[in-house]
Amino acid sequence: MEEKSKRSNASSMKRMLDALIPIESRPENVGPRIAAARKALGLSKSELADALTLDRSSLTKIENGSMGFAIANAIKFETLYGIGIRFTYRHDFSDLPDDLREPVRQHLATLLAAK
């Protein structure tokens, strides 16, 4: 009985967190933006993973939306490449360098069309 109660509590907690996190900030929506920005920058997964001090498998999970992108990594991403936090978590293209906006849009459209 206690195990069922734990699962129920975990499920309730997940629903509560989902209600608090805006849709555009959820991993499944942030991941493709990270991938599109990486591609627009001309970086391989290994290059970006190394720059962010992540292992490549973690970056793959982030880009696939199965793992969240920590705020500390988003700050590094912004510091190193100018990819702003508002773009990463809010889909705000004005928070990208001017020269990257269109390439990121194109890569993002391609990634989303493939899903």
Q: Quick: pLDDT tens for 40-96.
A: 999 999 999 999 999 999 999 999 999 999 999 999 999 999 999 999 999 999 999
Give the fold, CATH level 3, of 2-114: 434 Repressor (Amino-terminal Domain) (1.10.260)
CA distance 37 to 59: 13
Q: Do residues 34 and 93 touch, judged by C-beta distance below 8 A?
A: no
Question: In sequence order, what are the residues at sequence separation of 6 or more whose Cβ sits closer than 8 angstroms to the Cβ of residue 82?
Answer: 96, 97, 100
Tell me, what's the pLDDT at 89?
A: 95
- H-type alpha helices, 21-70: 27-41, 45-51, 56-64
- Can you tell me the mean pLDDT for 92-113? 96
Unique residue bearing structure tokens 């720059």: 51
Global pTM?
A: 0.83
Cβ atoms of 40 and 103 closer than 8 Å: yes
Q: pLDDT: is 4 or 86 the higher one?
A: 86
**Strand locations in 21-84 (E):** none
